[in-house]
């Protein structure tokens, strides 16, 4: 974590940043968050992230008193206090301190800075391996702090030689990964689910970029069969950008290496602002 964080209404050294044990995140997992990068001291897609955070806050009926303008100012000051450069910022909003251990009060606000972390470079070259896993995120449109299943299956992923899960719903549709959206390339089109997923900011901009590159885009459900038969497959997230998927449950996708469309998107993404 970077040296300086923001808790409720003040900047603190990260080592001193603590929450009382009656916070509803600790007692009841009740909270939402968002995460964005900053590069050269400037936050990326901040308006998108703050808009999504507000939607998450509203879904949990929390009433954060800080405005978007206020949050934006805090973000810029936090980046500056941490010396600018490159990194990531997590904004967490919880149900606050609760005397009865259940009823939300004034929300707790956290802004935490992190060094910039990407997956290892070779993973972009060789692609990543995914494991299909039956699971549906609750409140899929909400970026809640609920990662019970994503974290719980990490040992299983390791056993299977996979790096990321792909969640399959009760209808056999592939929805999303634990912290990423996913896309496939099928007959030259980029196809990605829209319903019942977290609408990623990277996903949004990657689709915009694809349209600029004249790659046809379809937002629709994707079945397991369609994924396994895809020409190419991609994970995308704020941390990952666009990362090729070359194996799912041990089966090669496409040629088993990043395909032409994926490489084109990855290249263009590196320049995208």
Q: Which residues bind a second copy (CB under 8 A)?
A: 1, 5, 7, 14, 17-31, 33, 59-61, 90, 92, 94-95, 99-104, 110, 112, 114, 117, 135, 138-139, 144-152, 154-155, 170
Nearer CB in complex with a second copy: 196/231 = 196
As measured in angstroms, the least distance from the Cβ of 110 to a second copy is: 6
Q: Long-range contacts made by residues 27-30, C-beta under 8 angstroms, separation at least 24?
A: 27/98, 27/101, 28/95, 28/98, 28/101, 28/102, 29/145, 29/146, 29/148, 30/60, 30/94, 30/95, 30/104
Instruction: State in angstroms the smallest separation of the CB of 120 from a second copy.
Output: 14
> Nearest distance from residue 11's CB to a second copy, in Å?
13
If the CB atoms of residues 29 and 41 are measured against a second copy, the closer one turns out to be: 29
Phi first, then psi, for residue 250 (nearest 5°) are: 85, -15
- What's the closest the beta carbon of residue 52 comes to a second copy, in angstroms? 17
Distance, in Å, from the CA atom of 53 to the CA atom of 72, rounded to the nearest integer, reads 12
Contact (CB, 8 A) for 27 and 101: yes
CB of 45 to a second copy, least distance (A): 20
Q: How far apart are CA 216 and CA 98, in angstroms?
A: 49
| C-beta of 133 vs 186, nearer to a second copy | 133
Question: In Å, how far are 32, 74, 76, 108, 165 from 79, measured between CA atoms?
Answer: 21, 9, 5, 20, 32
Nearer to a second copy, 153 or 265 (CB): 153
Q: Which is nearer to a second copy, 92 or 207 (CB)?
A: 92
Smallest distance from a second copy to CB 50, Å: 19
Write down the residue that tokens 């299983």 correspond to. 156
Q: What is the DSSP letter of 107?
A: P
Give me the least distance between CB of 267 and a second copy, in Å please. 28
**Residue nearer to a second copy on the CB measure, 102 or 194:** 102
Alpha carbon of residue 257 to chain centroid? 24
Q: Smaller CB distance to a second copy: residue 45 or 114?
A: 114
Q: Helical H runs in 33-172?
A: 46-59, 68-81, 121-126, 148-152, 154-159
Distance CA 34, CA 145 (A): 9
């Amino acid at each position: 974590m970077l040296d300086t964080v923001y808790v409720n209404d003040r900047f603190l050294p990260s080592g001193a940043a603590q929450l009382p044990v009656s916070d509803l995140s600790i007692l009841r997992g009740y909270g939402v968050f968002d995460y964005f990068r900053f590069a050269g001291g400037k936050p990326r897609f901040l308006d998108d992230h703050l808009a999504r955070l507000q939607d998450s806050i509203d879904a949990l009926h929390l009433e954060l008193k800080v405005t978007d303008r206020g949050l934006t100012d805090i973000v810029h000051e936090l980046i500056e206090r941490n010396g600018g450069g490159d990194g990531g910022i997590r904004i967490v909003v919880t149900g606050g301190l609760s005397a009865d251990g259940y009823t939300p009060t004034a929300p707790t606000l956290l802004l935490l800075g992190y060094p910039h972390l990407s997956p290892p470079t070779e993973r972009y070259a060789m692609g990543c391996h995914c494991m299909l896993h039956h699971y549906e995120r609750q409140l899929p449109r909400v970026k809640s702090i609920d990662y019970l299943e994503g974290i719980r299956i990490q040992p299983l992923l390791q056993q299977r030689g996979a790096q990321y899960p792909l969640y399959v719903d009760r209808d056999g549709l592939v929805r999303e990964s634990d912290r990423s959206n996913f896309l496939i390339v099928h007959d030259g089109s980029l196809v990605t689910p829209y319903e019942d997923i977290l609408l990623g900011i990277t996903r949004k901009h990657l689709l915009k970029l694809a349209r600029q590159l004249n790659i046809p885009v379809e937002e629709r459900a994707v079945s397991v069969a369609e994924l396994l038969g895809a020409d190419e497959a991609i994970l995308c997230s704020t941390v990952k950008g666009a990362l090729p998927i070359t194996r799912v449950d041990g089966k090669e996708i496409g040629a088993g290496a990043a395909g032409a469309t994926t490489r084109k998107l990855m290249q263009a993404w590196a320049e995208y602002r």
